[in-house]
Amino acid sequence: MRHEPRRDNRGILDPGRLRRQVRFRRRMAAPALRRWVEHYWLIDWDLDEPFEQRVVPHPTVNVVFQAQDGAAEHGEIAGVDTGLFAVTLHGVGRVSGVQFSPGGFRPFWRRPVAELTGRRVPITDGPICPGTDDERCARLDELLTSWSPVADPLAAEATALVEEIRADRTVLRVTDFARRRGVSVRRLQRLFLDHVGVGPRQ
């Protein structure tokens, strides 16, 4: 289990430009939540002109609270995206987000995560609202804890398998990976769709 957020730019196109335009930082969740949550991410901006950021998606669910240009903060569950996506920021705003580990949202959702793939589902919990980074993260901790996640060994297995695939560039075929792990391709596909949201090939 990690004790500090990762510092790479995985998935962020032109990270230098992003950091010149907005304040972007990552923070760790409370220790009890780290088996499921990769990190929190916080963004604040005050822009003279619109800024578009493109992101290469990873097989993770995010919970996002955003406020922009004086509008009320709104929250949503962002399922796994299957293609490049872009977001445009303008004016003054902020985002408080949760990036779950692959498979990590299943204990909170308690249904097949594939139901969320490519979708945005509004949520009324929250809001996180302004505050220091510590205050925003504390409210995210409280929110996720209130959802009463239930430990799920299959979710842990899915997370471990995704991490193995991400770390091992020699993994090229689902059939070979399933054979290496001693499971059927069918079971591997069901596990990924149910707990990650996309199949192992993606």
Q: What is the pLDDT of residues 41-89, one digit of tens each?
A: 999 999 999 888 888 878 899 999 999 888 889 999 999 988 888 888 9
Q: What is the pLDDT of residue 58?
A: 83
pLDDT band at 1 (very low <50, low <70, confident <90, very high): low
pLDDT at 130 over 90: no
pLDDT at 107 over 70: yes
Q: What is the pLDDT of residue 19?
A: 85
pLDDT band at 31 (very low <50, low <70, confident <90, very high): very high
Point out which residues pair with 41 in neighbouring strands: 26, 97
Average pLDDT over residues 93-97: 95
* pTM score of the predicted model: 0.91
The contacts of residue 165 (CB under 8 Å, 6+ apart) are 171, 177, 200
- 67, 97, 143 from 136: Cα distances, Å: 13, 10, 11
Q: What is the pLDDT of residue 42?
A: 96
Among 91, 61, 56, 88, CA closest to 76: 61
Please tell me which residue, 13 or 16, carries the higher pLDDT value.
Answer: 16
pLDDT at 2 over 70: no
Q: What is the pLDDT of residue 168?
A: 80
How far apart, in whole angstroms, are the C-alpha atoms of residue 169 and residue 123?
Answer: 37
Please tell me which residue, 131 or 166, carries the higher pLDDT value.
Answer: 131
Could you read off the pLDDT of 144-202 as tens digits, one per residue?
999 999 989 999 999 999 888 888 878 888 888 888 888 889 999 999 999 999 988 87
